[in-house]
Structure 1
Amino acid sequence: MKLSHLTAISPVDGRYFEYVKSLRNIFSEFSLLKYRLIIEIEWFKKISECEKINDIEPLISEEKIFLNNILNNFSLKDAIEIKNIERKTNHDIKAVEYFLKKKFSLMKSLDEKKEFIHFACTSEDINNLSYALMIIKTRNEIIIPIWYKIIKNIVSFSKKYKNFPIISRTHGQPATPSTLGKEFCNFSYRLIRQFNQLKKIKILGKINGTVGNYNAHFISYPNVDWINFSKEFVNSLGIELNLFTTQIEPHDYISEILHCFSRFNNILINFNRDIWGYLSINFFKNKYNKGKIGSSVMPHKINPIDFENSEGNLELSNAILNHLSNKLSISRWQRDLTDSTSLRNIGLAISYSFIAYKKFLNGISNLEINKFNIKSDLRSHWEVLSEPIQTLMRRNKIKNSYELVKDFLIKKDLDPETLKSFVENLKIKNSDKNILKNITPEKYIGLSTLLVDCIEKYFNNIDK
């Protein structure tokens, strides 16, 4: 069977092929090979520039152009060649090294220097920096922009409906009124916190040899300040040096990033479920699209499939993210290989998240509020005003205020007339009586509007 997005096993490369194009350019095997080449070539350049490594001449301009062209012209044919070498060596990084040596042999001056390819390195010196570059690109170019877009959409919704009251539900039962804007604020604040945390996590890397002690480096050139030398190199890639490692960079920062992803996703799962619930009680409705079908047999239905799809993909992503974040920070003694195969699935986990984010954005763009049903719900639940009644009774020092209101509600359903009758007979200040007589579920929204204004300021202060 010919491989295509229709014959792929994984839905990431199948059904959702178009959704993850940008991630495919980072996490595919092709891309991983190219990132490894970047590290190998840049390390070779760094070695050649060191005056104290006097066994290799500094690169001339023609050599630099040649090396840059290896990367600029890296093709699928090159990637296949590396994989063919790997089949013989049974070692992925060694295959990259041999590929480069073959390339170097095409230029006489570089051919004489090719033993300095992968100099003093262990495979993980190349791999950890490759993954660090992949994560930096993913965070900065893919995730931060789409997280920002998600938060912006929620904040915009909050602003639009900051004055629109609704009956809250605690334990699924009618409770103190709020506004649609304020309820959306709750989620945007939580998401902004994760957004800010993700940006602050430092990306770490190492290039200190087989067990992290610069053994091969020091025995070869003891006069080189290898700690500072490696710091300069790692920093030049936009990565912070982790000086204390075994054979592998311990992946703690990756765990931190993946945990942050998981928390963001959990918040969005919560939001998806709330929207689903609001749709089910007709607080919201989906925009009608003539060409789309909600049910194969029930023409009236417009199902919340984008929010359901988003929820499902987020849960699947989190299953992988949580496993990886727990797994990657553990390695036996100076290393074992279990992290290697695990790392290859970071792109898969992020892909499921990315699909979910796009589905969520599509869902919220098709969301409309059902003003009639929300207002009808408010007018059907005057009992929620039992809270302000008993609170003002307490302020007037009426004993057993809570119990008196509770006993009254057991005997009667609260509506505007019974409310006024009950209030009129209370021994409270006239000013408080007037407050309670004029209050309605729509008006009892506390500082909801002010809180929406606060979230707008908070959102405007984040740096996308």
Structure 2
Amino acid sequence: MLLLERYDLFSPLDYRYIDGGLAKKAIPFLSENARIAYQARVEAALVKALAKQGICSEKTAREVAKAAENVSAAEVYAEEAKIRHDVRALANVLRSKVGEDAKRFIHFSATSYDIVDTASALRYKETTEKLVIPELKKLLSVWIDIALREKGTLQIGRTHGQHAEPITFGFAMCGYINRLGEMIGSLECFASRMEGKFSGAVGAYNASSLLVKDPQKLEDDIMEELGLQHAMHSTQIVEPE
């Protein structure tokens, strides 16, 4: 039996079903440890973008990136119990893992949902691209094999639910193959368009505009590092649609 800690779980049903292959594969994307890890990646991407703008050094960016790889949900929850703020708790844990010169650049000019919404977009994108779509393509391949194998297997075709004209089972399978293929294409499109933000507490770049001449370029640099699009418009959050 797979032994898990509480922060490896992502569903109330995990205690019963987590030994299954797909659920186990989802742990690096959807567990609580994963949620914290993705938020830490966004914090590291911010510092790397600051280095690109000349606000901090490349050495600082590397130091924060290394720290971000070694943050656990347990540490963040312990800090949150003290200060009662989840994202500030993450920032504090990251600061505890870097030197004095790097501390001030962690979460620099960010609002909480610059981190939270961007991290959510990133993990849903990667869950879709690295887990969901590959599994669906495996299923699609199985269906294609069945369709080819059964291309001569006769069955009755139906219209309005009633027996109509003869078709083959392979032909019937092609309908499902086409529909699943379209769904996979749609998922690929949606994943490629996932949006993050670094536009501040009201979406108007107020804080970051005090740091750089072009705050939207800073946002673009962060999103490019993460492989996301920037939201065309945001408030405190990315528009949920």
Q: State the TM-score, normalizing by the size of structure 2.
A: 0.87
Write the distance in 2 (CA, Å) between the matches of 1:4 and 1:35.
20
Aligned residues of 2:37 and 2:69 also touching (Cα < 8 A) = no
Partner residue of 1:28?
A: 31
Residues 1:112 and 1:68: Cα distance change in structure 2 (over 3 Å): closer
1:18 counterpart residue number = 20
Name which of 78, 83, 96 aligns with 1:89: 83
1:191 pairs with 2:193: no
**CA shift for structure 1 position 171:** 5.2
CA RMSD of aligned residues (A): 2.3
Flag structure 1 segments of 5+ consecutive residues without an equivalent: 253-464
Which of 33, 38, 54 matches 2:41? 38
Percent of residue pairs bearing the same amino acid type: 27
> 2:199·2:219 contact (CA, 8 Å) conserved in 1?
yes
Residue 122 of structure 1, CA deviation: 0.9
Cα displacement (A) at 1:24 = 1.0
TM-score, normalised with respect to structure 1: 0.47
Q: Which residue of 2 aligns with 1:209?
A: 200
Deviation at 1:173, TM superposition (A): 4.1
Q: Give the corresponding residue for 1:456.
A: none
2: CA distance between counterparts of 1:191 and 1:79? Answer: 36
1:66 alignment partner, one of 40, 63, 66? 63
Assess, with a 3 A threshold, how the Cα gap between structure 1 residues 240 and 251 changes in structure 2: closer, same or farther: same
From the superposition, tell whether residues 40 and 58 of structure 1 become closer, same or farther in structure 2 (CA, over 3 Å).
same
SS at match of 1:14: helix
| Distance in 1 (alpha carbons) for counterparts of 2:4 and 2:63 | 35
Q: Gaps (5+ residues) in structure 2? A: none
Q: Which structure is larger by alpha-carbon Rg, 1 or 2? A: 1
Partners of 2:42 and 2:119 within 8 A in 1: yes
Against the structure 1 CA distance between its residues 215 and 140, is the aligned structure 2 distance closer, same or farther, given a 3 Å change threshold?
Answer: same
In the TM superposition, what whole-angstrom CA distance separates every residue of 1:166-199 from its partner, at most 9, and x where no partner exists? 1234455432211111111111111111111111
Matched, 1:124 2:113: yes
Partner Cα separation in structure 2 for residue 146 and residue 208 of structure 1: 35
1:198 alignment partner, SS class: helix
1:13 Cα deviation (Å)? 3.7
Whether contact under 8 Å (1:11, 1:17) holds in the other structure is no
The within-5 A match list for 1:203-282 is: 203-218=194-209, 220-221=210-211, 224-252=213-241
1:108-147 correspondence to structure 2 within 5 Å = 111-147=100-136
Separation in structure 2 between the aligned mates of residue 178 and residue 94 of structure 1, nearest angstrom = 62
- Give the length in aligned residue pairs: 232
The C-alpha deviation readout for 1:405-462, integer Å capped at 9, x for no partner, is xxxxxxxxxxxxxxxxxxxxxxxxxxxxxxxxxxxxxxxxxxxxxxxxxxxxxxxxxx
The one-letter code matched in structure 1 to 2:207 is A
Spell out structure 1 runs of 4+ moving beyond 2 A: 8-13, 15-19, 63-69, 71-74, 168-175
Letter of the structure 2 residue corresponding to residue 21 of structure 1: K
State the match for 1:156 in structure 2: 145
In structure 1, the residue corresponding to 2:163 is in which secondary structure? strand
Secondary structure (helix, strand or coil) at the match of 2:90 reads helix
